[in-house]
């Protein structure tokens, strides 16, 4: 997984990100097990930038 420096910090983040809307049920309704497997696969691939917000499923994605 390619990484880039985050702004002026020394933090390196993955070039790819996972949008957390699906975890909260935004536009996609999947069983919790499928959601966990998706997140685990992203982490296993080296992704470390997960985008989430309180509005994604009334906080469920957080």
Reported as a single tens digit per residue, the pLDDT across 7-36 is: 999 999 999 998 888 777 777 788 889 889
Whether the Cβ atoms of residue 57 and residue 25 lie closer than 8 Å to each other = yes
| Confidence band, pLDDT 50/70/90 cuts, at residue 3 | very high
**Mean pLDDT value across the chain:** 86
Reported as a single tens digit per residue, the pLDDT across 35-54 is: 899 999 999 999 999 888 77
Residue 19's pLDDT is what? Answer: 84
Residue 57's pLDDT is what? Answer: 67
């Amino acid at each position: 997984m390619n990484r880039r420096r985050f702004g002026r910090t020394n933090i390196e983040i993955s070039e790819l990100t996972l949008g957390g809307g699906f975890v909260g049920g935004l536009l996609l309704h999947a069983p919790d097990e499928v959601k966990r497997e998706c997140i685990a696969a992203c982490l296993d691939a080296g992704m470390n930038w997960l985008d989430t917000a309180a509005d994604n499923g009334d906080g469920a994605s957080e």
